[in-house]
Structure 1
Amino acid sequence: MKRNFWSSINNFIKKYHLDAFKDVAIFMIILLFFHFLWRTFVSDIMSVQFISNSAALSARQVFLASQWVLEVLNVKVTTFDELTVGGRLHHNVIYYPENNGFVYVNRSCSGLKQFYQWVILMILYPGPWKHKLWYIPVGLVIVHCVNIFRIVSMTFVTINIPQHWDFMHDYVLRPFFYVVMFGLWVWWNEKFYHKNQESRIKNKSRSFA
């Protein structure tokens, strides 16, 4: 009965040419499931020493790289490894003195969640493992670069349009992570997964010839 159910769904998808929608649905389900799982158990996850230390290390690397980019661009900011603001100690601080603006690169800005999200997506999504073994690390590097771009961009927002800081952080630059991840997934889907499927079908047809 289960086999008939899944075969009828597959037949429906093929009949109405919904393969692309099916692929996007799988992508969205994996990403959203991980997102809600992370949000629900983030305190428990961060209580694991290895994960907490990894987040702190990743945040530090993002901060240092962002600091370097800002120096290259000759942006006049002051950086602090530690700074107490409003009675709270913050790490990895980018400060713009002219309008008293701050960007804190804390553990939640480390990109660690997106690292795990990308790895889980690629492990669960179908495709040839010989390509996954190099594509996953490449994706991690790109996600890390996107995070550096995000912090540098938020610094420019702090300097030029601080009144739009929350909007840019929550609705533009945070979703940008997932736009890039979607682009990486589309490339994987078209260049590796579907090509692998096509080569399998060709090999089967040759064996029956």
Structure 2
Amino acid sequence: MESLFTVYRPFLSFLLRFIVSYTLLTLIYQGYLQQYDASKKEVDRITYHVAEQSKWILQFFDETAHTAPNNKEAGVKLFYHNTWIARIIEGCNAVSVMILFTAFVLAFRGTWQRTLWFVPLGIGLIHLANILRIALLAIALYHYPAYEHALHGVLFPMVIYGFVFLLWMVWVNRFSNYAAPSTK
């Protein structure tokens, strides 16, 4: 039994670090969300800003693009060409994706110096990719409403998770303690 633990120790150590960091970050985020009352249609500030930033991107293509409060749920309505095209809710802000990204980087250890710049950079890039994703999704839904399920449920999640996967590969292969040393 001890030899099994020795053999699988790196994996078990990774798994423990991932579970602990993911749980801790999720609890912090849930604590943040608790200050907003969804039953009163209160939108958290992160989701609100994601909706506004997505609107700014859309305004490059349609100056009438705008947002409005959603009176039916805690969310923001996103309009493109004066058509209500999307609802931006808490799940659209990509924070859960950022938490997953961060937990993986923390679990697949690197030096603290590298971790301290890679995590914020990755979170910033994920945020940027997310607002671009929402804006592009809004444009696609406006032009191809019949493909809503394929666009919203398949293609665009694949884009954001594929981007996070690429960031993880960069981390593992270039900056983590497991990266092959570069030859000069």
Q: TM-score range by the shorter chain?
A: 0.7 to 0.9
**CA 1:185/1:163 → structure 2, altered by over 3 Å: closer, same or farther?**
same
Q: 1:123 aligns with which of 106, 115, 118?
A: 106
- Per-residue CA deviation, residues 46-88 of structure 1 (Å, 9 max, x unaligned), is 7x452345981111111111111111x232554233144xxx2
Match of 1:79 in 2: 66
Equivalence for 2:53? 65
Indicate conservation of the 8 Å contact 1:128/1:196, yes or no: no
Name structure 1 gaps, 5 residues minimum: 11-21, 200-209
Q: Secondary structure at the match of 1:127?
A: coil
Q: Tell me the equivalent position of 2:39.
A: none
Largest Rg, 1 or 2? 1
How far off its partner does 1:105 sit?
A: 1.2
2:110 is aligned with 1:142: no
Structure 2: gaps (5+ residues)? 37-42
Q: Is the 8 A contact 1:101 1:158 kept in 2?
A: no
> C-alpha separation between the residues in 2 aligned to 1:196 and 1:83?
47
Structure 1 residue aligned with 2:75: 91
Amino acid of the structure 2 residue aligned with 1:121: F
**TM-score w.r.t. length of structure 2:** 0.74
Label 1:70 to 1:161 Cα distance change in 2 as closer, same or farther (>3 A).
same
Contact 1:69 1:152 in 2 (8 A): yes
Higher helix share: 1
- Residue identity over aligned pairs, in percent, reads 17
* TM-score normalized by the length of structure 1: 0.66
Instruction: Assess if the C-alpha contact under 8 Å between 1:77 and 1:94 holds in 2.
Output: no
Query: Residues 169, 197 of structure 1: CA spacing in aligned structure 2 closer, same or farther, 3 A cutoff?
Result: same
User: What is the SS of the residue equivalent to 1:147?
Assistant: helix
Root-mean-square deviation (Å): 3.3
Equivalences, count:
167
Structure number with the bigger relative contact order (C-alpha 8 A, sep ≥ 6) is: 2
Distance 1:90 1:6 in 2: 47
Q: What is the deviation of 1:102?
A: 2.3
Q: Which AA in structure 1 matches 2:139?
A: F
**Quick one: which amino acid aligns to residue 167 of structure 1?**
A
